[in-house]
């Protein structure tokens, strides 16, 4: 009788262990997927910010990059007077 009880407990422990291992594996997969999604979004944000910087730094109206003497500086850009 005690042997059957121990076998039953052992079987239950294996089932519980297997379930926890599957749950842990799924959690790792979810984490990895979320990290990949975050990396993709970060790359998109970086690309959008770079496009915005290029747009602002182009000779667009009165804003220009470069080194103009006697021109006031504002945020790393030069403002032609």
For the cut 70, the answer to whether the pLDDT of residue 72 exceeds it is no
Residue pLDDT, tens place only, 13-42: 999 999 999 999 999 999 999 999 999 999
CA within 13 Å, CB half, 49: 6
E strand or H helix that includes residue 31:
helix 2-57
Residue 63 bridge partners (DSSP): 60, 79
- Domain ranges in the chain are 2-79
| pLDDT at position 55 | 85
Give the separation between CA 19 and CA 9, rounded to whole angstroms. Answer: 15
Give the residue, 38 or 58, on which the prediction is more confident: 38
Residue with tokens 């910010």: 49
Q: Taking residues 59-65, report their average pLDDT.
A: 52
Between CA 53 and CA 6 the distance in angstroms is: 69
- pLDDT value of position 81: 42
């Amino acid at each position: 009788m005690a042997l059957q009880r121990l076998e039953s407990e052992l079987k239950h422990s294996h089932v519980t262990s297997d379930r926890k291992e599957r749950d842990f594996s799924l959690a790792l997969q979810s984490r990895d997927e979320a990290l990949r999604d975050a990396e993709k979004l970060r790359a998109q944000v970086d690309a959008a910010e770079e496009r915005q910087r290029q747009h602002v730094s182009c000779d667009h109206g009165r804003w220009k990059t470069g080194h103009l003497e006697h021109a006031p500086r504002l945020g790393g850009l030069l403002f032609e007077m």
